[in-house]
């Protein structure tokens, strides 16, 4: 089964040049001193102020590079990389219990942590196949297929003939959430909906304002300053993305806790990413 083609480009306005961009600063530095000198101190102060504000804000986010997450061998040719694990005590709205990447070599299998799949511990489990092909219990998964397992059920063992990279998100059901039956969404059978200029979205699951989603953004697409009513997670599948001044690449992950805000999101390359958080974007003034 082949992955469905990504959406065709949408017409959208290019963002206005940022006077603080490195390229423009270089141009300013190359101008005659009589023209550039009056602006240089002001620009320098603005740049340093923006960097300082961004650094303070980013301390509240959890950013993990795939290459920096240690690989834990769990079976021959199978490794886990933990991207996030909640601490003890009450969790924030939308906070996952655990987020991991599972890497399977070609011809490998893993019976799961309980020896017969995942334990029936009351956690919901979401799976996204990022690369390759895999079999989860009796469910065959191809690239960008999404599978959601009901709380309190075992998913079955994992195996891959070709090698695979899977995302696994484990979380407790929200208060009052109706239990889901297990279901699978096939990438080859799903379309994309218009979301914003240059951006298309696919809602994989939603309940009470919380959602799991795929986004496809074209080069130059941007999302304005927005807040988070519940934890927002971004997992990069392809391309590069700036979340404020933090650059994410394929396999990188960021969790923005509930009550935080992103000053802006922008991509130069175009991206495909998985997100879990608010279904509706909470756009903030300024």
50 pLDDT more than 70 = no
What are the pLDDT digits (tens) for 68-119? 999 999 999 999 999 999 988 888 899 999 999 999 999 999 998 887 778 7
Per-residue model confidence (pLDDT) at position 133: 98
Task: Categorize the per-residue pLDDT at 29 as very low, low, confident or very high, splitting at 50, 70 and 90.
Answer: low
The answer to pTM > 0.85 is no
Task: Indicate whether 56 belongs to any domain.
Answer: no
The count of structural domains within the chain is 3
What are the pLDDT digits (tens) for 228-266? 999 999 999 999 999 988 999 999 999 999 999 988 899
Mean pLDDT across the chain: 84
CA dist 26 and 19 (Å) reads: 11
Domain that residue 111 falls in: 66-187
Task: Report the pLDDT averaged over residues 44-58.
Answer: 62
Task: Indicate whether 55 belongs to any domain.
Answer: no
Residues 148, 81 share a domain:
yes
18 pLDDT more than 50 = no
Per-residue model confidence (pLDDT) at position 44: 65
Residues 171, 72 share a domain:
yes
User: Considering only CA atoms, which of 24, 172, 252, 259 is closest in space to residue 243?
Assistant: 252
Residues 277, 195 share a domain:
yes
Residues 214, 130 share a domain:
no
Q: What is the dihedral of CA 249, 255, 259, 261, to 10 degrees?
A: -10
Task: Indicate whether 267 belongs to any domain.
Answer: yes
Backbone φ and ψ of 81, nearest 5°? -125, 120
Alpha-carbon distances of 16 from 13, 37, 220, 221, rounded to whole Å: 9, 24, 11, 12
CA dist 155 and 9 (Å) reads: 37
Helix-strand-coil percent breakdown of the chain, rounded to 5? 15, 40, 45
């Amino acid at each position: 089964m082949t992955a469905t083609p990504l959406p065709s480009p949408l017409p959208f306005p290019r963002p206005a040049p940022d006077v603080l961009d490195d390229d423009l600063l270089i141009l300013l530095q190359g101008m005659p001193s009589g023209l550039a000198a009056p602006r240089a101190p002001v620009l320098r102060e603005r740049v340093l102020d923006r960097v300082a504000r961004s650094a303070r804000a980013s301390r509240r986010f959890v950013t993990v590079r795939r290459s920096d997450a240690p690989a834990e061998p769990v079976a021959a040719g199978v490794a886990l990389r933990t991207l996030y694990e909640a601490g003890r005590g009450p969790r924030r709205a939308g906070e996952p219990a655990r987020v991991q990447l599972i890497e399977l070599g070609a011809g490998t299998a893993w019976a799961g942590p309980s020896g017969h799949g995942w334990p029936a511990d009351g956690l919901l489990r979401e799976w996204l196949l990022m690369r390759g092909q895999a079999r989860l219990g009796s469910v065959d998964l191809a690239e960008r297929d999404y599978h959601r397992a009901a709380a309190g059920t075992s998913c079955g063992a994992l195996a891959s003939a070709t090698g695979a990279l899977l995302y696994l998100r484990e979380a407790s059901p929200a208060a009052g959430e109706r239990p889901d039956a297990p279901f699978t969404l096939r990438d080859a059978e799903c379309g994309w909906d218009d979301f914003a200029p240059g951006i298309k979205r696919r809602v994989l699951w939603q309940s009470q304002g919380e959602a799991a989603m795929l986004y496809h953004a074209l080069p130059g697409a941007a999302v304005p300053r927005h807040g988070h009513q519940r934890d927002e997670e971004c997992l990069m599948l392809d391309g590069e993305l700036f979340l404020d001044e933090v650059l994410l690449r394929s396999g990188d992950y960021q969790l923005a806790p509930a009550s935080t805000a992103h000053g802006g999101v922008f991509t130069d390359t175009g991206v495909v990413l998985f997100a879990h958080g608010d279904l509706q974007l909470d756009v903030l003034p300024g």
